[in-house]
Structure 1
């Protein structure tokens, strides 16, 4: 990066010290363990740590300056004093974006925002020098760090914004200040911090208040609470949908699984319709695809650009990633779970099973607040409607799910529990979906399946 220490001082509201225009910042860090020569270290404090305690160590490792919110002793480097280090980090990122003159796309939503970001990156990179945030580095620290990693040569920045509490978007959106604001959907996610689905829609749509003019708002039309909230804030949002009857030019449909676990899709844009295959499956990917097509059009890109871009994607190993194991198809969707993504994944897995045995290996959906019991009961009813061959479950809401499912479920807590329970099921073919909230480490069950710690119907090792 070409940011100097003098730039940092000016961005944070101070006067540039003499000689600081010659000090170029290599990178911005908040973790002292990763500091290298030439870095700028921010003393960020959390519940269990205080970055100020590691300032001296950061300087020893090569930090050229420190940003702190209290006085420091024994630090042999320039110290820039601020009221709040996290707020200052965001202000510096916003200032850096203005210095670079980049166009920024901000992506948020209850589900699919990381996938949309990755798809957009694959599409946009065909025409633009593009930056993105790594995986889901999307909070008050991850977003500005991602923006500060972008360079002046990158003319398009695609940034994901993730919120979990009221007020989060009011902190994130001014940092991004997007030219294009994208909201993929809204559903019952992070209800502990956002209240209910109406609260989620309001919080997500707050992003639109910080849209630069002239800017574009790309919004799903399939969620009335979201669409209504968006129309209160912008005059003419651009809609996308998976409903062919929707009054929009951007519609995508999932047509089923194709050869070699590819998905078949139909995409409609102002240029017309086209069917094609892509390296992902499911109705939820149709929603992502329609969204990406709308954003690409706003960037002056064609339907052909969208298709070629998404066809180049490498599947994420924990986002509905299909992993064949003999005649058994293991679907690793263990990155996270909320009611919206859980329902979609189960329905897609059932469609893929297409008459073959379907096994569900599920875990709790966290951060649902007062609606946790109700949402897990809904999950039980969803499973009942699907009628899988077997259900394995990990988490505290086992009884809530089982009560509405009404059939036997296998409670599993460890890989060993799962291996033993799976042995009694003993399917040699079919589809297995593994999904739950991130903290449950459901990927361990995927590892057990892929490592051959399962048994076939005859009782022998696979």
Structure 2
């Protein structure tokens, strides 16, 4: 059975699914394989649970008229997504970057959905599986698709673009993330810029932050639509007013008060405003969308617990985002405690980058800092206001956070550290 035939069957399904635990009836189940799982053994279970078809790549799983045997399930998922994207011809906005991808995607979706029927990446399903799933979630009612693309190696963004074929694209920034896979910052810039390469080759539009010299240099000879502050020549001007603690911006005389903490979120907001402007969303609707967006999923969340205010930013961390979070945290008033967890995927740079964060945090006006994880535990501490713990369990056994009162806490670390667990100690 070829892709066109599979697509014809897919159009009669309600959705696609790769996990029987979240399966919906009348869906198309893809029996993906991984190092520790084999979806083929669940194909029959998926059909019994209500799946209309199951895509398998092992003959032993091809047990009924509802199973479709292919050479490789993952390849088929990706080919089907690309076929579906061409079939719909929906305008696609793609975005990537080292930091702020998911927040920016959510803001863009909030703004554009004021005028259009949008379909956007759910959560951070932004890899070689998540991108196809996002495309396959789009229907003929989708007027604009928003696809987040993540990567930790070269050629991954190039591959995602080959599937999604974006008409528009935006790179949030180039930072010290996934250094191990990219081989350094230059590798990060090269890898993320694969989106620029695709868009330029097809003469499509790039959204550019004119305040970022790397973006300006990389896109100067290509079709672009820019934003920045009054010191630049921009297509759209958005000005930063303050972040005390939430980011306040000015756009066309409108004061926009967000629910996002930290001046590092200003560019994310400005990008969403700019893309809304490009797609002719009404100015008042843009303001309403930005002000109505409330962060979740451990991303710059503000949580009040008792007399304490908590800045929970425990979804991800790298040297660039950690530095930005600390510099913003120093601006908070009152007693300040930072609880910082290891940053992952830094390769040979891990030791130096963790020491850099320790040195920075120690110099800042922060009353007490706890460092959690093996990398931070190996760093040299030079102040009595700092202490390191090899694990969360060590931290938990030695700390009485329940006694904290009228304090502001920053909780930040890589996803694998699961630092949202700190909330249970308060």
TM-score of the aligned structures, taking structure 2 as reference length: 0.90
The answer to whether the aligner puts 1:255 opposite 2:242 as a matched pair is yes
1:245 to 199, 209, 231: 231
1:57 to 40, 45, 52: 45
CA contact 1:205–1:226 (8 Å) conserved in 2: no
1:366: which partner in 2?
A: 344
Paired with 1:201 and 1:325, the residues of 2 have a C-alpha distance of 40
CA contact 2:57–2:69 (8 Å) conserved in 1: yes
Instruction: Tell me the alpha carbon deviations over residues 328-361 of structure 1, each in whole angstroms, 9 at most, x when there is no partner.
Output: 21111111111111111111121122xx221110
SS at match of 2:59: coil
* CA shift in 2, pair 1:16/1:244, >3 Å: closer
The answer to whether the aligner puts 1:345 opposite 2:325 as a matched pair is yes
* CA shift in 2, pair 1:21/1:376, >3 Å: closer
SS at match of 2:95: strand
SS at match of 2:374: coil
1:457: which partner in 2?
A: none
2:129 to 141, 145, 157: 141
Instruction: Tell me the alpha carbon deviations over residues 70-97 of structure 1, each in whole angstroms, 9 at most, x when there is no partner.
Output: 4335511254444432222122112222
1:99 to 67, 70, 87: 87
2:55: which partner in 1?
A: 67
1:228: which partner in 2?
A: 217
Range with greater deviation from structure 2 (343-352 or 184-193):
343-352
Paired with 2:67 and 2:341, the residues of 1 have a C-alpha distance of 47
Paired with 2:291 and 2:10, the residues of 1 have a C-alpha distance of 45
Q: 1:237 Cα shift?
A: 2.7
1:430: which partner in 2?
A: 407
Paired with 1:78 and 1:94, the residues of 2 have a C-alpha distance of 23
Q: 1:314 Cα shift?
A: 2.3
The answer to whether the aligner puts 1:382 opposite 2:370 as a matched pair is no
Paired with 1:134 and 1:344, the residues of 2 have a C-alpha distance of 26
* CA shift in 2, pair 1:163/1:73, >3 Å: closer
SS at match of 1:351: coil
* CA shift in 2, pair 1:21/1:290, >3 Å: closer
Instruction: Tell me the alpha carbon deviations over residues 394-448 of structure 1, each in whole angstroms, 9 at most, x when there is no partner.
Output: 1012245444x5445233434673474345x954223110010111110010232
Instruction: Map residues 76-115 of structure 1 onto 2, 5 A cutoff.
Output: 76-115=64-103
Paired with 1:160 and 1:367, the residues of 2 have a C-alpha distance of 20
2:160 to 159, 172, 175: 172
Paired with 1:303 and 1:23, the residues of 2 have a C-alpha distance of 37
2:16 to 1, 22, 28: 28
1:441: which partner in 2?
A: 418
Instruction: Tell me the alpha carbon deviations over residues 50-89 of structure 1, each in whole angstroms, 9 at most, x when there is no partner.
Output: 2222223323333333323343355112544444322221
SS at match of 1:158: strand
Unaligned runs of 5+ in 1: 1-8, 450-462
* CA shift in 2, pair 1:326/1:122, >3 Å: same
CA contact 1:134–1:146 (8 Å) conserved in 2: yes
Count the aligned residue pairs: 423
SS at match of 1:139: coil
2:298: which partner in 1?
A: 318
Instruction: Tell me the alpha carbon deviations over residues 117-136 of structure 1, each in whole angstroms, 9 at most, x when there is no partner.
Output: 11111111110011111111
CA contact 2:339–2:410 (8 Å) conserved in 1: yes
Instruction: Tell me the alpha carbon deviations over residues 167-223 of structure 1, each in whole angstroms, 9 at most, x when there is no partner.
Output: 211221112211110111110001111111111111111012333855311133444
